[in-house]
Amino acid sequence: DKWDVACESYRMNHPDTEVICADIREIKDFPEADIVFGSPPCQDLSHANNKRKMDTSLLEEFLRVAQIVKPEFWVTENVYYARHAYKKLGIPYQVINARDCGLPQNRKRIFGGKLPLILLPRVIQKTVPCITATEYKGCGKDKRRAARYFGRKILIDEAKFYQGFPAHYYFAGNPMEQY
């Protein structure tokens, strides 16, 4: 990542891991690895962004890294709408709903790459089924933000929970950056 707040958060939670805080396009050498996992930014690939340009340059940078490292497996994850970019670049993918992985949100994600994708549901173990915040408040499939139903902004610890982070996970930065 090149965002210093994200890099600091990762360093705090994974103190034995080397964190390189730089633009991936500027990094030329990579260590050997058996697996490379990445999640290029989704803003230009997201259906929620009305001004999206379907810019696949950072997804292509991930592919460059995979070609340089030549791992046994590589996996990239992104928003559901990015499937169009994955198709364009010839990346095989599978759709997984966060809800099926035990997270309390109805959120489709795509996982693609050089991985026996048929095995992916077994890699991501399904846990106890969860209901989403909107369903909890009796709102069914209403797509409006859950905060409206609770009558307040969702707290940072609640947001961490909805995203699947452990309760002890530390986020650097000010409150706006932590969301």
Q: Which residue out of 7, 21, 42, 130 is catalytically annotated?
A: 42
Task: Report residue 30 as tokens.
Answer: 């990579």
Single out the residue of 104, 49, 118 nearest to residue 78, CA to CA.
Answer: 49
Active site residue 42: yes
Phi-psi region of 102 (alpha: psi -120 to 50; beta: other; left: phi over 0): left
Single out the residue of 86, 36, 40, 46 nearest to residue 59, CA to CA.
Answer: 40
**94 contacts 108 by C-beta, under 8 angstroms:** no
Residues 126, 83: Cα–Cα separation, whole Å: 23
Give me the active site residues, please: 42
